[in-house]
């Protein structure tokens, strides 16, 4: 299958609201990726059907991918319904340093890393050096309600 055909399929899936593409964040630094986009499913049930895996997250070997997908799509929905206007991105370098999700709004840049389990985490040094005024957070099972603004 040609690259052009794959691109047309991706565009069709995006226009049909099956997937969406998250653009990379780049300020034209030489080591940042600026062309590739990450693809996420709007409905994780479709993703699970395609890979034939409907197991609960705690029983899956691919837990990080659906967890990241879930958090990003739900955060974007909440931003839209809450009338919060943010630019959403991911960040990656040619050296494979990566941040799962970035939001840029009102001159602020916030980086998020998504992990199924809690633990210690720091943003990549290259990101902190390039964007010294930015803030960051690790989102996991124990604090995702706050990130998604879901409260009991």
Which pTM value belongs to this model? 0.89
- pLDDT for 3 beyond 60: yes
Predicted pLDDT of residue 152: 46
Cβ atoms of residues 57 and 29 within 8 Å: no
Cβ atoms of residues 112 and 136 within 8 Å: yes
Q: What is the 3-state secondary structure (H, E, C) of 8-74?
A: HHHHHHHHCCCEEEECECCCCCCCECCCCCEEEECCHHHHHHHHCCCCCHHHCCCCHHHHHHHHHHH
Structural domains of the chain in order of their starting residue, each with its CATH number: 1-21+38-54 (no CATH), 58-152 (3.40.1350)
Higher-pLDDT residue of 34, 91: 91
Q: What is the pLDDT of residues 16-31, one digit of tens each?
A: 999 999 999 988 677 7
- Whether the per-residue pLDDT at 33 is higher than 80: the answer is no
Which residue, among 46, 67, 44, 71, has the nearest Cα to 57 in the 3D structure?
A: 67
pLDDT at 35: 75
pLDDT at residue number 150: 65
């Amino acid at each position: 299958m040609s690259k052009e055909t794959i691109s047309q399929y991706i565009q069709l899936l995006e226009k049909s609201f099956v997937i969406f593409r998250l653009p990379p964040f780049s300020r034209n630094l030489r080591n940042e990726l600026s062309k590739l986009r990450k693809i996420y499913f709007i409905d994780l049930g479709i993703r699970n059907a395609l890979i034939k895996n409907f197991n609960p997250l705690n029983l899956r070997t691919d837990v990080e991918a659906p967890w990241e997908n879930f958090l990003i799509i739900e955060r974007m929905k909440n931003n839209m319904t809450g009338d919060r206007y943010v630019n959403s991105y991911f960040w990656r370098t040619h050296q494979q340093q990566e941040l799962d999700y970035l939001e840029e709004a009102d001159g602020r840049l916030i980086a998020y890393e998504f992990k199924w389990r809690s633990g210690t985490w720091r943003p990549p040094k290259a990101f902190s050096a390039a964007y010294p005024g930015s803030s960051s957070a690790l989102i996991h099972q124990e604090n995702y309600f706050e990130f998604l603004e879901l409260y009991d």
